Chain A
Amino acid sequence: GAGVSQSPSNKVTEKGKDVELRCDPISGHTALYWYRQSLGQGLEFLIYFQGNSAPDKSGLPSDRFSAERTGGSVSTLTIQRTQQEDSAVYLCASSPGVRGRRDTQYFGPGTRLTVL
């Protein structure tokens, strides 16, 4: 079946501009995660959605970052007033999200963001 998809695959923007990154999870997966991976760094958790619950935003690095998930499926990560330190690969993952059961996350191909 189809995996997690993300768009765009690459995004180059100028400092100060806003960007939107999209994630389409695996069909039927209720949990969705955003991570980012900077050059030479590990994956850093940003935000997590589970069903209709309030998202866990504890990993967002600043208030310039926000995300929403519409209809329990597609998610959009928005970065306002981008800075050069925002340059990274933004990865989305989804998991079945069945409460009380073991869970496994599957990653999309990522969006490489470059802020000039």
Chain B
Amino acid sequence: QKEVEQNSGPLSVPEGAIASLNCTYSDRGSQSFFWYRQYSGKSPELIMFIYSNGDKEDGRFTAQLNKASQYVSLLIRDSQPSDSATYLCAVNRNSGNTPLVFGKGTRLSVIA
């Protein structure tokens, strides 16, 4: 079983719609959860992090965490063509500074 799983996509949504990206993880003791955006040919850029169950909102982005279901998601409201990228889910087994375990990413395409 892969440690962090994401649907590879591509996920296509029309401009202005809500894009929903999902991630599951296998280590029930995981503490910290991150979403990175990666444009083609570029390095990952941190978008959101979440540590507690529930929702966390930042502008057009909402991260949702359900530790009981071992599930974390990212919602992008009012999707724009500039949101088209690969979104990487990353999990930290600890609360402190230790290496992240990454999913392979979901490719999002926002159609104008």
A interface residues with partner B (beta carbon < 8 Å): 31, 33, 35, 40-43, 45, 48, 50, 56, 59, 89, 91, 95-110
> Would B88 and A42 count as touching, CB distance under 8 A?
yes
Counting CB contacts under 8 A, is B77 at the interface?
no
Chain A residues within an 8 Å CB radius of B98: 48, 56
Residue contact A41 to B104, C-beta cutoff 8 Å: yes
B residues in contact with A109, CB < 8 Å: 42-43
**B residues near A, CB below 8 A?**
4, 32, 34, 36, 42-46, 49, 51, 88, 90, 92, 95-105
Q: Tell me whether A105 and B100 are in contact (CB under 8 A).
A: yes
- Closest CB pairs A-B (n = 10): A103-B97, A42-B104, A43-B102, A45-B99, A31-B97, A107-B43, A97-B97, A42-B102, A110-B43, A107-B44
A residues in contact with B102, CB < 8 Å: 35, 42-43
- How far in angstroms is the closest Cβ of chain A from B108? 16
Q: How far is the CA of A98 from the CA of B42 in the complex (A)?
A: 28
Identity of the chain A residue whose Cβ is nearest the Cβ of B4 in the assembled complex: A42
A-B contact pairs, 27 of them (CB 8 A): A33-B99, A33-B100, A35-B99, A42-B102, A42-B103, A42-B104, A45-B99, A45-B100, A45-B101, A48-B98, A48-B99, A50-B97, A56-B98, A56-B99, A59-B99, A91-B43, A91-B44, A96-B97, A97-B97, A99-B96, A99-B97, A102-B32, A102-B49, A103-B32, A103-B97, A104-B49, A107-B36
A91 to B36 alpha-carbon distance, docked (Å)? 14
Report chain A residues within 8 Å CB of B105.
42
Residues from chain B with a CB closer than 8 A to the CB of A89 are 43
